Structure 1
């Protein structure tokens, strides 16, 4: 049976850009296979290293552009961690900084033509979210012992409602990695799919001017989304971290 493309019809496949493919050969993808995801994850790490290591290797009183960007990002994340988690949370700044830069650069690199958006895959975002969830939980028990469970007991509520609220709090706590990861992957996947759809319409002469204008506008919006989603993921990490270093919050 002939497909729509084979018969000359108009076909757009916006989800094809998210397919994981081997870099070498056409065999099945195994856990050890080097794929397009592997490539763009490595490029993300290299881009961060280039900015923070090479860009600041010649530190000067009058900073270069790369040094200015590095210092701006450093100050922005440091202030975020200090304001949200307090003084006790500042010691975990390196991890939060690494998380923010990784997500930010992965999002931005995914907007390059012919690139692969690694943070559009739940496998990547769930891993990041689980690292935060497990890390915060373990840290909470190390810092507060059994007292960490006090965050689930709402002492400001009437005694009769506290058990019900405790169940809701526990469920909410374990849903954190789900919402934390799906929000990031979902926003990026949706935006890239929309861009691909309008880019497909751009190939039609009658719709080309409108489609090109729409792609340009959506691309600008996606730049904003890439930055905002990195910020949202990071500030939520800081909020969760505050529960661990600050103990019970009710």
Structure 2
């Protein structure tokens, strides 16, 4: 009985608070905005709970990212010419950029894994930039997406390390150049840092994008106040420009860390 009463009281309090917020917003006496609402996963069709097979806003924007990549890398380069079109130039620039990154970090041995790394880079770049469009959804701001990407890299390089080097892959954790007394301690540190890789790899990408989009939303809320709207608008423009830079940098950081992990798998010796 007490539980039912408490539940009813909580519902009434929530309804009152919601009505007060709405009335305050309508009256202009306060500002009500929720910067984290933009990260809510919602069904694309209808309402209700999100299940395993529910088509959501995340599904839509993941699909759009794939379509955009296909449009640039396949359709945009279908008519290859000596004097390239804009789309062909962008595709060739991206190809050359990632190819040089893989070669510089992993060496010639890592180039056979270039298609995977190129796909990873292009997906993150397009997902990040599509998330900057008005009314869009930033899929890479969700840990459910970035953790899958990071785990895929972690498992791939770990399996590859054992396949290529056998038990010799364990030399990655044994710092032979250090004094013998310190090697066991350093081995423990190396093992911990190795298994923390997918955590830091995923949090860095999602955390930076989530924080930036939340700040933009906060400034957008303050833009409704006449007294501070000019400052808020300038702040929004500045933050938006910064987020464009962050969108590319985070894709680059995620990709180059993947190359570093791949290098460790191919050449594990310190």
For the superposition of Structure 1 and Structure 2, which TM-score range results when normalised by the shorter chain?
Answer: over 0.9
- Greater Rg over alpha carbons, structure: 2
The aligned counterpart of 1:132 is 153
Picking from 10, 17, 25, the partner of 1:2 is 17
The aligned counterpart of 1:212 is 233
Q: Is 2:92 the counterpart of 1:71?
A: yes
Query: Any residues of structure 2 matched to 1:194-209 within 5 Å, and which?
Result: 194-209=215-230
Q: Secondary structure at the match of 1:7?
A: helix
The aligned counterpart of 2:203 is 182
Q: Deviations over 1:87-107 (max 9, x none)?
A: 000000000000000000000
The aligned counterpart of 2:68 is 47
CA distance in 2, matches of 1:194, 1:152: 40
Q: Deviations over 1:144-196 (max 9, x none)?
A: 00000001000011111111100000000000000000000000000000000
The aligned counterpart of 2:13 is none
* TM-score (norm: length of structure 1): 0.98
Query: Any residues of structure 2 matched to 1:113-132 within 5 Å, and which?
Result: 113-132=134-153
The aligned counterpart of 1:164 is 185
Q: Secondary structure at the match of 2:132?
A: coil
Q: Which structure 1 segments of 5+ residues have no match?
A: none
Picking from 45, 49, 53, the partner of 1:24 is 45
CA distance in 1, matches of 2:172, 2:58: 38
The aligned counterpart of 1:94 is 115
How far apart are 1:12 and its partner, in Å?
1.7
How far apart are 1:11 and its partner, in Å?
1.1
How far apart are 1:235 and its partner, in Å?
0.1
The aligned counterpart of 1:105 is 126
CA distance in 2, matches of 1:187, 1:108: 13
How far apart are 1:204 and its partner, in Å?
1.2
Q: Is 2:138 the counterpart of 1:153?
A: no
Q: Which structure 2 segments of 5+ residues have no match?
A: 1-15, 25-29
How far apart are 1:207 and its partner, in Å?
1.2
How far apart are 1:5 and its partner, in Å?
2.2
User: RMSD value over aligned CA atoms?
Assistant: 0.7
Greater than 3 Å deviation, 4+ residue runs:
none
Q: How many residues align?
A: 249
* TM-score (norm: length of structure 2): 0.91
CA distance in 1, matches of 2:156, 2:150: 10
CA distance in 2, matches of 1:175, 1:233: 15
CA distance in 2, matches of 1:174, 1:76: 29
CA distance in 1, matches of 2:97, 2:153: 20
